């Protein structure tokens, strides 16, 4: 929430812009100084406007609004608290435009899962593509469409299954029925 900031000076004081007749008028100078205090945060935002639209630099509350604006798949990542949640929120907003371009593809689904969970998913699907010089050749893939996404996490949480299901539902091809599975990653000895 933006508001007044105590002690923030204006980058464009109104007292200096008044006609010369008011330059020595104490009442006029105090009046516009009060306006300067109200306008200073606005000038500050306008001076730094490009930073507000850069997810790595914007204030967290503005980044949350920006996530809604660009349709980023945050899935509550910013609500986990701490720097990890904030970093996930910023990464989601930064990747939103790219993910929208490849939405509904295997690559788009894999990148969305990687961004949310930090691991590469295992994706199994029924579709295929092939080329044949002869007409009426065999049709590749399965007759029934299906999609299965498996994610192996080092420490799966109870809500991860639901998070993965919501994510796949949003990033999959619209017509494709799907299933998801969250498993515990195998631990290597000595680590």
- Looking at the structure, do residues 43 and 111 belong to the same domain, yes or no? no
Last residue of a domain, one of 29, 47, 65: 47
In a domain, 53, yes or no: no
In a domain, 190, yes or no: no
Give the burial class of 121: count Cβ atoms within 10 A of its Cβ; 0-12 exposed, 13-18 middle, 19 or more buried. Answer: buried
Name residues whose C-beta falls within 8 Å of residue 51's C-beta, 6 or more positions apart in sequence. Answer: 57, 58
Instruction: Output the domain CATH number for residue 141.
Output: 3.30.300
In a domain, 82, yes or no: no
> What would the pLDDT profile of 127-150 be if each residue is shown by its tens digit?
888 888 888 878 888 888 899 999
What is the model's pTM? Answer: 0.67
State the residue range of the domain holding 34: 14-47
Query: 153 - beta bridge partners?
Result: 184
In a domain, 109, yes or no: yes
In a domain, 9, yes or no: no
Give the pLDDT score at 83: 64
């Amino acid at each position: 929430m933006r508001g007044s900031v105590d002690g923030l000076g204006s980058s464009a004081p109104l007292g200096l812009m008044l006609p010369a007749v008011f330059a020595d008028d104490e009442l006029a100078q105090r009046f516009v100084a009060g306006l300067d205090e109200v306008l200073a945060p606005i000038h500050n935002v306008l001076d730094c406007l490009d930073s507000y639209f850069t997810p790595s630099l914007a204030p967290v509350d503005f980044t949350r609004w920006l996530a809604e604006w660009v349709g980023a798949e945050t899935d509550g990542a910013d609500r986990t608290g701490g720097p990890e949640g904030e970093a996930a929120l910023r990464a989601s907003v930064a990747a939103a435009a790219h993910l929208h371009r490849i939405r509904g593809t295997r690559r788009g689904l894999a990148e969305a899962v990687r961004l949310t969970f930090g691991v590469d998913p295992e994706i199994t699907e029924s579709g295929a593509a092939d080329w044949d010089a002869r007409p009426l050749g065999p049709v590749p893939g399965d007759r029934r469409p299906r999609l299965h996404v498996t994610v192996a996490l080092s420490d799966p949480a109870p809500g991860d299954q639901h998070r993965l299901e919501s994510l796949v539902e949003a990033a999959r091809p619209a017509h494709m029925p799907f299933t998801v599975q969250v498993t515990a990653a195998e631990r290597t000895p000595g680590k």
